Structure 1
Amino acid sequence: MAVQPDTARELVDAIFLFARTLRTTLVHHDSDLLPSALTGVLFLLARTGECRPSELAAEICVSQSALSRQIGELVDRGFVDRHPDPNDKRAHLVSCSPDGREILRTIQERRTERLTAELTDWDQQQVVEALAVVGRLNSTLAPIAGSTPQRTSS
């Protein structure tokens, strides 16, 4: 049976509220380490691997100029390496530096600790089931967003 429009609307609202809750519960607490926008860029760059900034901008769905500023700040902080593209000397490639991977590991550990503390009344099976549903939603919606779902562990 097809999903009813009212049910889909409720799901849209629930996902929006869930994303908001995640940001306030997990993400905002890391701003002392790295602003959330930069963390997002660094996270996706680490998952994508070395690439041109234009490719990363398309993946993140932001303008190249906005991403350029963020990449510049991450380079200044030592979290991103930038070097000329050997195939096109006019372009450059970016990648997550070892320091960038370390800050991501620290942020991931903090977020994992916070989430674990909040899920004390959940059992392992409930978390596995939630992970399966979120994974299925990502797999279903990623092609619409123009991205390819990738593994969730680092």
Structure 2
Amino acid sequence: MTARTVSADEALDVVIAMHRLMRRLRRTGHNGTVHPTQLIVLALLNQYGPLRIGELARRVPCSQPTATTAVAGLLSAGFVDREPDPTDGRATRVAATAAGLDILRSFAHSEAEVLAELMSTLPKDDARLVITAAPVLSTLADLPAADPAPDDDASPPSA
């Protein structure tokens, strides 16, 4: 079974809806504590373990300089540490600290509470549809880019 072609207009509706929802969830607190790119970096480190900067940039996706800036802010806040790469003595990997995982859980919990509250206002079938879509959205997020992703961060992340 093959998927039908999705038009750019249909995809645009999804993009706008996701941006609006994420903006609403990000207003739940922690304003200024961690930049959204830094939050994604922490989530990736939690999911995959220690990673090199280049791998973080690929997975976010963002440019390598943006990933470096995000990691620098997380380092100065004590949310990540650098460690030697066991496969290449010249390279380092970034690993989340206990404090980094705590702030990630705090963000995720706050946003999840707001989302659960919002979803509780939906009809049961619609709420189930949103929950069922989560793994599909993760799959889309993990697909390799056709070409290098432009660095679309409006401003560099800060601690």
Q: Is the alpha carbon distance of 1:21 and 1:3 closer, same or farther for their aligned partners in structure 2, counting shifts above 3 Å? A: same
Structure 1 position 102 matched with structure 2 position 102 = yes
Matches within 5 A, 1:34-73: 34-73=34-73
Amino acid at match of 1:54: G
Correspondence for 2:22 = 23
Distance 1:2 1:100 in 2: 39
Name whichever of 81-90 and 116-125 sits farther off: 116-125
- Unaligned runs of 5+ residues in structure 2 are 147-159
Question: Under a length normalisation based on structure 2, what TM-score does the superposition of the two structures give?
Answer: 0.76
Determine the C-alpha separation between the residues in 2 that align with 1:112 and 1:131: 12
- 2:78 aligned counterpart, secondary structure: coil
Q: CA, structure 1 residues 55+4, in 2 after alignment: closer, same or farther (shift >3 Å)?
A: closer
1:87-98 correspondence runs (5 A): 87-98=87-98
Q: Larger relative CO (CA 8 A, sep 6+): 1 or 2?
A: 2
SS for the counterpart of 2:143 is: helix
Q: Gaps (5+ residues) in structure 1?
A: 147-154
Q: Which moved more, 1:127-136 or 1:102-111?
A: 127-136
Q: For 1:27-86, what per-residue CA distance to the aligned partner results, in whole angstroms no more than 9, with x for missing partners?
A: 244324322221122112221211211111122222222211110110111111112223
Structure with greater helix percent: 1
1:3 match: 4
Distance 2:43 2:141 in 1: 19
Task: Tell me the equivalent position of 1:151.
Answer: none
The share of aligned pairs that are identical, in percent, is 24
User: How far, CA to CA, are the matches of 2:140 and 2:109 in structure 1?
Assistant: 28
- For 2:69 and 2:140, locate their aligned partners in 1 and report how far apart those are by CA, in whole Å: 31
Deviations 1:62-121 (A, max 9, x none): 222221111011011111111222332221011111111100111111101111222232
RMSD: 2.4
1:149 aligned partner = none
2:59–2:142 Cα contact (<8 Å) kept: no
